[in-house]
Amino acid sequence: MRGDAVLSKYWSNVVRQLEPYIPGEQPKDKTYIKLNTNENPYPPSPKVIQVMQETVNESLRLYPNPACDELRVGISQYYGLTKEQVFVGNGSDELLAFSFLAFFNPGSPILFPDITYSFYPVYAALFNIEYQLVPLNEDFSISVNGFAEKNGGIIFPNPNAPTGKGIALTAIEEILKHNADQVVIVDEAYIDFGGESAVALINQNPNLLIIQTLSKSRSLAGLRVGFAMGHKDLIEALDRVKNSINSYTLDRVALAGALESFNDEAYFQDVRQRVIATREKTVARMKEMGFIVIPSIANFIFISHPLLPAITIYQQLRQKDILVRYFNKPRIDNFLRVSIGSDEEMECFLQAVAEVIQKHTK
């Protein structure tokens, strides 16, 4: 609906200056190999599906528990926290939006990396929060020194997106200590594919908020569940924001399915290990083809070819019904982000890439 619209006199000043986030495309014209939205190639746990099917019943006439107690208890036990240290919401994007309202103020610029999740500047615009970009180092690692400047709050992903590169917990600790009076949000959407969660730092750092999602490692992108972990005062701030927007953000079916996902640990471990193994195989093959591959601990890789522009590879792959993500932005406009699919999907992808390279560099 965007783009061609004339500004309406009925729009608020906020809406007039928005540049909304554009999610990766979900085309329906034909069947693609979808390596563009970091979805998990494997389905959710069969136990999750079973519990959800059982929850689809006549009780849907009743509101869900607005406090989401059972799910919060389940997540807190999984991570060795208390229920009061856990908040749940409609995907990690909603939690990020709530966090911008809960912890950041107009007039106090926040900091985030220059190359990062492109939703952060969108939240900032919506809630009138100024920001300063902290340039990644040359190797795309996060600059710890860059976060030592005066600020009104900090947010970064670990691993970072779209690079896939991780940050050591010692570095995160340093950022937390340097900014004891501001909230530091670590966006761990992709942490389960090889990173080390900062959850162990929560009890020592009341300014740390961690945000995770069930969309990636738990194969539940279609269910819309994310969660936040941190000091109970931070969780209460999120709760106050939620209760000023929508008392019930998670439906009964989502609450039940999300909880069951934390109960089926064996399935979770199996899926994430399979994705990691496929990633490592894919990385090796990409390097053989001459690609620069940023070291990834996510379920995607960030790649660049020294001879062929990323946009060309993107377009050629699309013609072969393979979708990857291209960002036309400074510093990364010669890179592609490729989600890790199944072994079969990645084999198709690798063969298609090989054909593109051969065609254009012969």
Size of residue set near its own copies by CB under 8 A = 94
C-alpha distances in Å from residue 340, one per residue of 154, 257, 272, 298, 344:
29, 24, 11, 9, 11
Contacting its own copies (CB under 8 A), which of 125, 133, 201, 289? Answer: 125
CB of 249 to its own copies, least distance (A): 6
The rounded distance, in Å, linking the Cα atoms of 152 and 184 is 10
Task: Check: CB of residue 210 under 8 Å from CB of residue 228.
Answer: yes
Task: Please tell me whether residue 319 binds its own copies under the rule CB under 8 A.
Answer: no
Q: Which of 116, 19, 136, 35 lies closest to 329, judged by CA?
A: 116
| Residue closer to its own copies, measured from CB, 184 or 310 | 184
Region 129-188 residues binding its own copies, contact defined as CB under 8 A:
181-183
Q: Which stretch binds its own copies (CB under 8 A): 61-69, 139-147, 292-300, 353-361?
A: 61-69
Q: Which of 20, 135, 290, 309 binds its own copies (CB under 8 A)?
A: 20
Contact with its own copies (CB under 8 A) among 49, 200, 292, 354: 49
Question: Is 11 near its own copies (CB under 8 A)?
Answer: yes
Using the rule CB under 8 A, is 81 a contact of its own copies? no
Q: Is 31 in the site for its own copies (CB under 8 A)?
A: no
Closest by Cα among 186, 229, 210, 253 to 72 = 229
The rounded distance, in Å, linking the Cα atoms of 232 and 227 is 14
Task: Give least dist CB 137 to its own copies, A.
Answer: 28
- The window from 121-129, 272-280, 295-303, 325-333 that contacts its own copies (CB under 8 A) reads 121-129
Sequence-ordered alpha helix ranges (H) in 23-104: 46-55, 69-79, 91-103
Instruction: Count Cβ atoms below 10 Å from residue 38 Cβ, excluding itself.
Output: 24
* Distance in angstroms (rounded) separating the CA atoms of residues 352 and 314: 11
Residue 68 beta carbon to its own copies: minimum distance, rounded to whole angstroms? 11
Nearest to 279, CA basis, from 294, 298, 292: 298
The answer to the question of residue 26 lying near its own copies (CB under 8 A) is yes
Task: Output 276 or 310, the one with its CB closest to its own copies.
Answer: 276
**Of positions 240, 287, 331, 359, contacts its own copies by CB under 8 A:** 240
Options 120-128, 163-171, 308-316, 350-358: segment touching its own copies (CB under 8 A): 120-128
Residue 292 has phi, psi (to 5 degrees) of -85, 125
CB of 356 to its own copies, least distance (A): 26
Measuring CA to CA, which residue among 351, 361, 343 is closest to residue 286?
A: 351
Q: Partners of 184 in the beta sheet?
A: 154, 208
Of 85, 90, 116, 212, which one interacts with its own copies (CB under 8 A)? Answer: 90
Residue 246 binding its own copies, by CB under 8 A:
yes
CA distance 209 to 87: 10
Nearer to its own copies, 128 or 143 (CB): 128
Q: Which of 94, 187, 192, 264 binds its own copies (CB under 8 A)?
A: 94
Token pair 């269910």 in the structure block, residue:
223
* Binders of its own copies in range 99-118 (CB under 8 A): 101-105
**For its own copies, which is the closer residue by CB, 255 or 352?**
255
Q: Cβ-count burial of 121 within 10 angstroms (0-12 exposed, 13-18 middle, 19+ buried)?
A: middle
- Asked if 204 touches its own copies (CB under 8 A), the answer is no
